[in-house]
Structure 1
Amino acid sequence: MSFSDGSKQPTPYTGNPVRLALQDLALFLRITFTWPLGKGLPSIIWPFWPFKSRALDELYPNVQNMWTLFLHLILIVFQLGFLLVFVPSLFIAFPVPLFSWTPACIAVLVFVVTGNNVFTCLLNGFKRDFASEVDDPNWEKHDDEKWIFVNGVAVGSHWMQSNLDRLALTFRRPICGIHNRTRGIIFDVIEVIIQRTFNYMTPDAREVYAKIRHHIEERESNNKAKWKKIILILHSQGAVEGGLVLDWLFATVSQELLEGIEVYTFGSAANHFNSPTMRNGGRIIRHIEHYANMGDYVSRFGILNFRSLPWKTKINNKVSRTLVQKQKGQYVGKLFVRQQSGHQLNGNYLDNLFEMDENCDGQLTVVKEDNEYMSANVDEFLWQNYDALGRLDDRTIWDATGQWGANVQNGSSVRIKEHSRLWLYRNGLSPAD
């Protein structure tokens, strides 16, 4: 199906997997080989300063982060070289007959995958259970809440711990982590495509399902549910796994057990997000929010390609309108969009959406009550028509009337943070239910 602007509707996630794979490949090529080059893969880490969370930021220049980046660089070179040789050999035996579909090919493939998994132990370590390591006896207790974080691509044990500690400081609650282990950026992206194209639950995703199901079924001695709320924080590939886990839960667990779950994603790489409608018109999971940077490579590969959203650009003084995805009901939840790049959870998302003050020793203290994005006025056109929150000052991006800059003065005085439920959890607070 095509639309008046020439854009095409993506194949539904339930469609032909071959078509889905080809669609993902075309999307990958379109957003990777772009100009300027900085809008492609480099947008994952750009901007990589000013390190508002100091050592907790993924790219802060300390020994652990530099070692992590060095290991990833080795993996990128190795994996790229392997794919450049191996992929063409799947179709031709010359000039690399060794890698044609022969026992030698299979042996090499097994050797490469096994060797890659062994090498990535340097990133992942052998720890299976993660939890935030920052705490303060003055924090208010929320003993009836369970906060769970699932990380995204390229996150080893060190970055996982940094993410958990930054989340704990932001919301003043202990955060448990379910580690989605990295196999290197390139192999992780391939895994994302396989997961969302074939709805394939990898071993890590199955672990996420098992642990979340365990928590929603936990009972006190009086048979009362142990957790009033289960808060899922999902980043990048973690949103792919989280979405698939929810699909399984909708099919295997009673509706009543799921009503206490809340979901918040950052830089989602998923191609769908479900929450079935109940008879009363509400949804089983009532609170789902997505946060995405418009220039984030992974967001463009995921949520920004599969959510309905107007996006205008100006080329040679002519207005060009792009309408991205029109599949109603396949990506449930509010979308908070920010006109910046960067994919790192701490450095590019939390540092800007939940900017924190620090004391004289450089230790993070409390989330500031105002920041550039959350304190901005809402663009009511975007909110009313697309269930998305953006800055009023960015109206030249979203205005679908074709009048650049029109109506900027006539927008809402409501601020973005007034629509964000996650914002209400900052500094140990809780929203009124």
Structure 2
Amino acid sequence: MANAAMDPFTSLYRCQIGGADIISYSYTDMPWKLLGWDIYYFFVYSWALPWVLWPPFTYGSGELDELYPTFQNIFCVFMHLVLAILQLAFIIALPLTVFLPVWMAAGGIGAFLLGNWLLCKLLNGTGREFSSDDVFAAQLPEHAHEQWVFVNGVAVGRHWFKSNLNRLALTFKRPVLGIHNQTRGILFDVFECLLQRNFSYATADVRITYRLLKNILYDPGKSKVVLILHSQGGIEGGLVLDWLLQELPQDLLSKLEVYTFGCAANHFNNPHRHAFAQNLMKEHPRFAIHTLLTETSFASEPVVDGQRDIDAKAPAQDRTPSRENSLSSSRTMSVSKDRAIGHIEHYAHSTDFVAIWGVLHFATNRTNSPQIPRFLGRLFVQSTGGGGHQLNQHYLDGMFPLKRNAKGEFIGVEEENNEFMNEVVRLGEEGAAMKNIREAFDITYAGTDGFGTGESSEPVEVHGMEHRKRGIVKRKEVRVKDLSRLWLYRDGKRPKDELPPTLVGEYGVARNATM
């Protein structure tokens, strides 16, 4: 094997634990202050803007790639160039309107916005909710209990949105339901991002996504909901999660898994369900893996003090059921899995401007601020080589590349020659302020497949680290595919902790057997 020091590597930032040290002013501070910092860092990171479309001439997904030279793709690129030029001219000319009569300035601005909307209509078409085409992935009985949902990023019209849905369906062999975050042109989309993440402004697609996810999570026939977010979709998904965390019962939230690519959000929430579990994860992480938490659920409310006297005087039909007569069920899980949302992962390129301005800035605390941002979920950063921002052409083609048969037909995800998934993992460095606030690597390793089952009983080392066992020095190189839970869903597969029976009924709520 070649010298591992010369091999490409992926930086891993383990999930935050949480606690009093996490004071996320990255999204709770005064909105105008946040906006000012966002604009400042936009220019600080502007060196990476050319990488958004780079490399432009690699087409691993063929016509599904955004820049593949088809008529529709060329039309989309042309329209975005026209919109960018017009919007830039509008922004430059806008201050000059102060010298015009009010009626003339208002009329000119209104005329431009109407024209911009009409041009964008050519890209967006009609409708907000779409599904992937059956030719890429049909609904299979073994996946009937799952629902996959996708929200896109900036500058994506209907054609590119459908290509995203079909590429995801082709990759994971499951139908994908999409909420279209319609484009208003690249520059106006960036302004919308600033409003969404600094003012918590919920646009129509945020509200539609919230309604849709809430309905699916309440569906007793669904035990798993996988939410995939790209770019601006990460901002919108983060807002939706905030709402869901405020309202939904946590046994429903535990059905949800979230995966982002090039995320532009400034925060991601996923609190622990119990304070003692959070403390144990921080102080004794290996003990937390093997400590089991058993919870008992009751079909009715338990009796409170004084209730029995009230019930004795009330009609039989109005009495509170006693604890002895209540139906109950229990579930056992590792303390290290004591989170409201089942699982969160983020994927980013180290040269992707949107990721640098979003997840890499806020999840890694590059400024070494003592006011640590709150960005939950493990983060994989492809640190070597170039990587753009387009979902299909850069992220999926680079991280989940497809293979073809002799006829040129796609036959699944490339496994053996997948450079990204075979890259060695190194722990990301980010300054003293982040010390001891991330989960132990053992927990990250055990939390990919069979989370909390105890299968990973020995300490796990990452690249460049060694340990001794019975006097023998051992070294284990951990690669991305060993830690990526999303990788376990490729080609219709599923994690080991999803083995039948996959559904456990609990008072009308379908859940995974391990939840």
- 1:129 corresponding residue in structure 2: 129
Q: 2:407 aligns with which of 344, 361, 372?
A: 361
Q: Does 1:120 align with 2:184?
A: no
- Specify which structure has the bigger relative contact order, considering alpha-carbon pairs within 8 angstroms and separated by 6 or more residues: 2
What secondary structure does 1:13 align onto?
A: helix
The separation in 1 between residues aligned to 2:160 and 2:371, in whole angstroms, is: 35
How far residue 128 of structure 1 moved from its aligned partner, in angstroms, is 2.9
Query: 1:333 corresponds to which residue?
Result: 377
1:27 maps to which of 9, 30, 41: 41
Deviation at 1:162, TM superposition (A): 0.5
Counterpart residue number, 1:296: 352
Tell me which residue corresponds to 2:301: none
Pairwise CA distance, 1:351: 0.5
CA drift of 1:195 comes to: 0.4
Partner of 2:110: 110
Q: Which structure has the greater CA radius of gyration? A: 2
Q: Is the 8 A contact 2:179 2:209 kept in 1?
A: yes
Corresponding residue for 1:17? Answer: 31
Alpha-carbon offset, residue 138 of structure 1: 9.8
Mapped pair 1:194 → 2:238? no
Q: Which residue of 2 aligns with 1:285?
A: 341
1:65 corresponds to which of 73, 80, 83: 73
**Where does 1:41-190 land on structure 2 (aligned, <5 Å)?**
41-86=49-94, 88-89=95-96, 93=98, 97-98=99-100, 102-133=102-133, 134-135=135-136, 141-190=142-191
Taking the aligned partners of 1:138 and 1:265, their CA distance within structure 2 comes to 23
Q: Residues 336-382 of structure 1, C-alpha deviation per residue, up to 9 Å, x if partnerless?
A: 00123300001110001111101233222111113111111221465
| Among candidates 228, 253, 256, match of residue 258 of structure 1 | 253
Which whole-Å CA distance do the structure 2 matches of 1:199 and 1:157 have between them? 25
Q: 2-side partners of 1:337 and 1:103: how far apart? A: 51
CA distance in 1, matches of 2:368, 2:362: 7
Checking the alignment, whether the CA contact within 8 Å between 1:377 and 1:414 is kept in structure 2 is yes
Change in CA separation of 1:348 and 1:140 when aligned onto 2, cut-off 3 Å: farther
Distance 1:140 1:349, change over 3 A: farther
- Contact kept in structure 2, 1:307 and 1:325, CA below 8 Å: no
CA-to-aligned-CA distance 1:135-176 (integer Å, 9 cap, x gap): 456966300000000000001010011111110011000001
Contact 2:152 2:179 in 1 (8 A): yes
Q: Deviations over 1:46-105 (max 9, x none)?
A: 01222111111100111110010001010000000000111x347xx3xxx12x7x3333
Letter of the structure 2 residue corresponding to residue 296 of structure 1: D
**Cα shift readout 1:291-341 (whole Å, capped 9, x = no counterpart):** 0001001111111111126xxxxxxxxxxxx65666546100000001233
SS at match of 1:226: coil
Q: Distance in 2 between matches of 1:150 and 1:139?
A: 23
Local SS of the residue matching 2:234? helix
Distance change >3 Å, CA 335–CA 198, structure 1 → 2: same
**8 Å CA contact 2:24, 2:373 repeated in 1:** no
2:486 equivalent to 1:417: no
Give the alignment partner of residue 394 of structure 2, picking from 348, 358, 361: 348
Q: What's the % identity of the aligned pairs?
A: 44
Q: CA deviation at 1:204?
A: 1.5
Once residues 366 and 325 of structure 1 are traced to their aligned partners in structure 2, the CA distance between those partners, rounded to angstroms, is: 44
Residue number among 420, 426, 429 corresponding to 1:373 in the alignment: 420
Distance 1:365 1:232 in 2: 24
Answer whether contact 1:377 1:412 (CA < 8 A) is retained. no
Aligned residue number for residue 247 of structure 1: 242
* Cα gap change, 1:379 to 1:14, in 2 (>3 Å): same
TM (norm. structure 1) is 0.81
8 Å Cα contact 1:147-1:174 kept in structure 2: yes
Offset of residue 388 of structure 1: 11
Q: Secondary structure at the match of 2:112?
A: helix
Greater mean alpha carbon deviation, residues 226-235 or residues 114-123: 114-123
Cα shift at 1:10: 8.9
Partner of 1:211: 212
**1:102-131 Cα distance to aligned partner (Å, 9 max, x none):** 333333322222221121011011133211
Cα 1:138–1:359 shift into 2, 3 Å: farther
Q: Name the CA shift for 1:416/1:333 in 2 (closer, same or farther; >3 Å).
A: same
Which stretch of structure 1 is more off in the superposition, 115-124 or 141-150? 115-124
After the TM superposition, which of the residue ranges 148-157 and 115-124 deviates more from structure 2?
Answer: 115-124
State how far apart, in whole Å, the 1-side matches of 2:258 and 2:346 are. 8
- Comparing 358-367 with 414-423, greater Cα deviation is found at 358-367
**Amino acid corresponding to residue 79 of structure 1 in structure 2:** Q
Q: 1:413 to 1:22 in 2, by over 3 A?
A: same
Q: Distance in 1 between matches of 2:187 and 2:200?
A: 19
The whole-number CA distance in structure 2 between the counterparts of 1:265 and 1:342 is 15
- Residue among 228, 231, 249 paired with 1:233: 228
> Judging changes above 3 Å, is the alpha-carbon distance between structure 1 residues 297 and 326 closer, same or farther for their aligned structure 2 residues?
farther
Compute the TM-score of the two structures, normalised by the length of structure 2. 0.69
Is the Cα contact below 8 Å between 1:170 and 1:426 reproduced in 2? yes
- Report the Cα distance in structure 2 between the residues aligned to 1:248 and 1:66, rounded to whole angstroms: 38
Cα–Cα, structure 1 residues 363 and 327, in superposed 2: closer, same or farther, change >3 Å?
farther
Q: Distance in 1 between matches of 2:123 and 2:137?
A: 29
1:412 CA displacement: 4.5
Whether the aligned pair in 1 keeps the contact of 2:402 and 2:410 (CA below 8 Å) is: yes
List structure 1 segments (4+ residues) > 3 angstroms apart after TM superposition.
135-141, 322-329, 380-389, 407-412
Within 2, Cα distance between the matches of 1:265 and 1:430?
A: 18
- What is the root-mean-square deviation of aligned Cα atoms in Å? 2.5
- How big is each residue's C-alpha offset from its partner over 1:188-244, in whole Å with a ceiling of 9 and x where there is no partner? 0000000001000011211111111111122xxxxxx12100000000000100000
1:276 aligns with 2:271: yes
Residue deviations 1:227-276 (CA, integer Å, cap 9, x gap): 10000000000010000001011112222221100000000000001112
Q: Is the 8 A contact 1:151 1:237 kept in 2?
A: yes
Give unpaired runs (5+ residues) of structure 1. Answer: 1-8, 219-224, 310-321, 390-406
Kept after mapping to 1: 8 A contact 2:54/2:388: yes
Contact 2:138-2:175 within 8 A present in 1 as well: no
Letter in 2 for 1:161: K
Whole-Å separation in 1 of the counterparts to 2:42 and 2:82: 22
Cα distance in 2, alignment partners of residues 423 and 342 from structure 1: 20
